Structure 1
Amino acid sequence: MKFILLPWNPELVITGTSIMGINPETGKFCSHVDFWDSIKKNDYFSLEGLWDVLKQLQIYKTPDLESPKYQILKRTANYEVRKYTPFIVVEANGDKLAGSTGFNDVTGYIFGKNSRSEKIPMTTPLFTQAFDAELSKVSIQVVLPLEKYISSLPDPNQETISMRKVEGGIVAVLKFSGRATEDVVREKEKALRSSLINDGLKTKTGCLLAQYNDPGRTWSFEMRNEVLIWLEEFSLD
């Protein structure tokens, strides 16, 4: 739900369980209790619940650009679980999660440095993916528009970049603002993985860093960054 009373239109996300009581004599609803996944005390008026709402009003500047499609399945106090549909990325080798090595190669492809000199619309976020537990084997990725198919895309001019389809799936996400330095990203990854393990969820190796903003044009407190960890399995039961 978009909170349109504020100029940056923050998105309020509440997941949980609603229990409806029915009067057996009239057959009409007589009670309604909501249990939020993000709080422990689900009283009629919970200060914890109010604080949970206020936290979601934080300023995050998300560019008006196309991004991969997802559905939020669950939102806890520490992370949210999303289901992503497949998308295509153009990628190059990187050096570290918060690094920029390979950035000019992948952006050059969408700006026309390809076999047809075709310019491809910009999207968001910029992904950096670590494939191993040490977060050392890294690629930098730009998401291509959803209407594109690999067979219809121009070939890269450089051997350093490639394209592939990300099949989508279930991912846990921790959102944060500020500058996504290497130390901060690794700290967020550890915190997210710890929360998932504590909740009994099975995680895949590695993680992704999603950066939505141009650091040269966005105030630090407005930046939207996310650490994502793919899950082996997930059930709402």
Structure 2
Amino acid sequence: MKIFLIISGVLLLAFVVVQLFAMNSQNDIETYPYKVEKKFKDFEIRSYEASLFTSVRLPSNNYKKMSSKGFSMLAGYIFGGNESNEKIAMTSPVSMSLEDSMTMMFLVPKKYNKEDLPNPNESNIEFKEEPEKKMAAISFGGWADDEKIQKYKEKLIAALEEEGIIYTNRFYFFGYNAPYEVFNRKNEIVIELPKDK
């Protein structure tokens, strides 16, 4: 019994240390830059800056099946799976387009231009320049899954229609936490809005 309590105590301490480290490291991660234009009850309108991403196209729109595969490919690239064996800083959020086939994207840190990035070892990885855009975003906590993504996509559509805001059909899922993070998990469904005339 005593050994069990000691092992449990050590495991609990390790868990707490990992969670504190994860929460603290979030403060140092570069994020997709935006400015809030207007807040509503359930969502907000944001203007995002033009940004560069590494991306990989996935063969299905099933979040559960595809998210781990896409993440491991892109993480492999930034952790040194490139012609220079160069490590590139992790950024936030991880973005997935919600289409018939998903595209997962990692924001490239601002210090890089497209020409500066080392070529990936994985041929499916591409560099994608996203223009500045206006988007509506709705947030939810916990771990994301296909049901939650669909639920908040529908909730965002209903909220936009209630406010009479015109939207496109380009939806994205944004995930802000590593899989091992338990506390303060943050996810978003965002949708592009038409460009101002």
TM-score range, shorter chain: 0.7 to 0.9
**RMSD of aligned alpha carbons:** 1.8
Identity %: 24
1:234 is displaced (CA, Å) by 5.6
1:209 is displaced (CA, Å) by 0.7
Query: For 1:137 and 1:190, how far apart are their aligned partners in 2?
Result: 19
TM-score, normalised by the number of residues in structure 2:
0.80
Query: For 1:207 and 1:101, how far apart are their aligned partners in 2?
Result: 20
What's the counterpart of residue 181 of structure 1?
145
User: Structure 1 residues 88, 128: closer, same or farther in 2, change over 3 A?
Assistant: same
What's the counterpart of residue 151 of structure 1?
115
Gapped regions of structure 2 (runs ≥ 5) = 1-22
What's the counterpart of residue 84 of structure 1?
48
Gapped regions of structure 1 (runs ≥ 5) = 1-60
Given that 2:137 and 2:190 are in contact with CA atoms closer than 8 Å, whether structure 1 keeps it comes out as yes
Q: Which of 1 and 2 has higher RCO (CA within 8 Å, sep 6+)?
A: 2
Aligned partner letter, 1:70: Y
Which of 71, 77, 97 lines up with 2:35 in the alignment?
Answer: 71
Query: For 1:97 and 1:229, how far apart are their aligned partners in 2?
Result: 17
Query: For 2:144 and 2:90, how far apart are their aligned partners in 1?
Result: 21
1:146 is displaced (CA, Å) by 1.5
1:49-88 per-residue CA deviation (whole Å, 9 max, x = no partner) reads xxxxxxxxxxxx6912100111000000010010000111
Given that 1:201 and 1:234 are in contact with CA atoms closer than 8 Å, whether structure 2 keeps it comes out as no
1:101-141 per-residue CA deviation (whole Å, 9 max, x = no partner) reads 221111111111112111111111111112xxxx3221111
1:198 is displaced (CA, Å) by 2.3
TM-score, normalised by the number of residues in structure 1:
0.67
User: Structure 1 residues 193, 210: closer, same or farther in 2, change over 3 A?
Assistant: same
Structure with the larger helix share:
2
Query: For 1:90 and 1:139, how far apart are their aligned partners in 2?
Result: 10
Q: Radius of gyration: which is bigger? A: 1
What's the counterpart of residue 30 of structure 1?
none
